[in-house]
Each structure stands twice: as structure tokens, then as C-alpha cells.
Amino acid sequence: MRGPDARQSSLFHFVSVEDRVPPSHPLRAVRATANEVLEELYPRLDRLYVRHGRAGLPPEPVLRALLLWALYGVPSERRLIEELDYNLLFRWFVGLGMDDEVWHVSTFNRHRRRLASAGLAGEFFARCLARLRGRLIYNDHFSMNWALVEQWSGQTRLDDEDEERDEVAADDETRDASEATADRAQRGQPRAGDERSATDADEDKASAATSGDEAG
């Protein structure tokens, strides 16, 4: 018997996000480890925020979202926030319920930069990867973006090192040219531009003399 094509969702749901994640899903082990690390970093995270004022976005969901970003190779920050809105697996990992509103991308960006500048994002990743590195590398479920991990950990990437070497080489060439010019000036030798000017003047004199002889 063919079942109906029901296109209207139910008004009430009695299933939590937790129930939608299989018990054997590899992300469960990652989440447990991430929560352990967050417990260890709690004193440092607590000192990063003031005691008074309006409550802001907690750092724990932000760090879990960063881990998701790197684990699944999400192409952009905006795409990550978009997937947090409809991806139940991502919601569960970060700690959002079915009815919880997802943060604005600018809010997430501001808190991410704050945690990264304080060194807490890098510390969080270092501790998590130290305990999960084998599972992350050899599990086909994830597509780890190591460039993001290096960036948040404050490590210099290879392309940045190449750019720095090119800049140093260019500075060395400029400095050598300046030193050579100063050395010629001290010795009283004309610069390359002065030599060309003197040659042009000699040619003008010779041309003028030739014209005078022809006129005579």
C-alpha cells in the first residue's frame, strides 16, 4: 500500500535533538572530549568576561562551533551559521535546542576573534587534537581543514612564510641599491642618471660644432 505524501509538519514534536544522533556516531566521542577540555579551560574562560552587564554569547558553544567548522571543512563562517540553523547534528554538537535561535554571523565573528586573540581557541584545539588526532585523521566521516586549525592556533602557514621571505629579499635589494648610491656619492662618482646627462651634453656640443663647420 502506498503511503500518503504528507507535506504539513506537526505542530508539536516530542523528539529531542539528542534522539536524532545515532549512539555510534563518531561525533559523540568528539563532543565528549570537547566538553572535557572546556571543563579544564573554564577558569580561563571565566576570567575573559566581566561580572556585570548584559549576558553575552557563552564561549563554550562558540568553541564547539569552531571545532565543527574545522572538522567538516565548512567553506565559510556564514555557511557555518547557516548550517547551524537547519542541521540537527550541528545543533546538537554546539548545544542548541530545536527552538533556539542561531546567532547572527557578526556576533559569532566578534566572539570568535575574542577567543582567538586571548589564545583560548588555540589552546582548545591543541588539547582536543592531542586526544582525538588518530580518530580525526583515519575517520572518513570528517574532512579536516588543517589550515583553519593553524590559523586559530596562531601558527604561521607556509604561504605566509614565503611572502615574508619575498618581502625580506625585496628590502635587501632596496637597501643594497641605496648603499651603493651613497657610496658613489661619497667618492664623487656620478650616478647612472648623471652619467647619461653628461653623455648627452657632450653629444650636443659635438653636434653644435659640426653644424658650425658646415655653415662656415
How do the domains of the chain map onto residue ranges?
17-155, 161-215
Across the chain, which has 216 residues, the per-10-residue mean pLDDT values are 64 74 91 96 89 81 95 93 94 92 94 92 91 76 84 52 47 62 62 50 56 50
pLDDT at 209: 55
Give long-range contacts, CB 8 A cutoff, 24+ apart: 133-142.
135/26, 135/29, 135/30, 136/30, 136/71, 139/26, 141/26, 141/27, 142/26, 142/71, 142/72
HSE value, Cβ hemisphere, 13 Å, CA-based, for 101:
5
pTM above 0.75, yes or no: no
User: What is the dihedral sign for C-alpha 152, 156, 158, 159?
Assistant: positive
pLDDT at 81: 96
DSSP SS3 for 177: helix
pLDDT at 86: 92
pLDDT at 92: 95
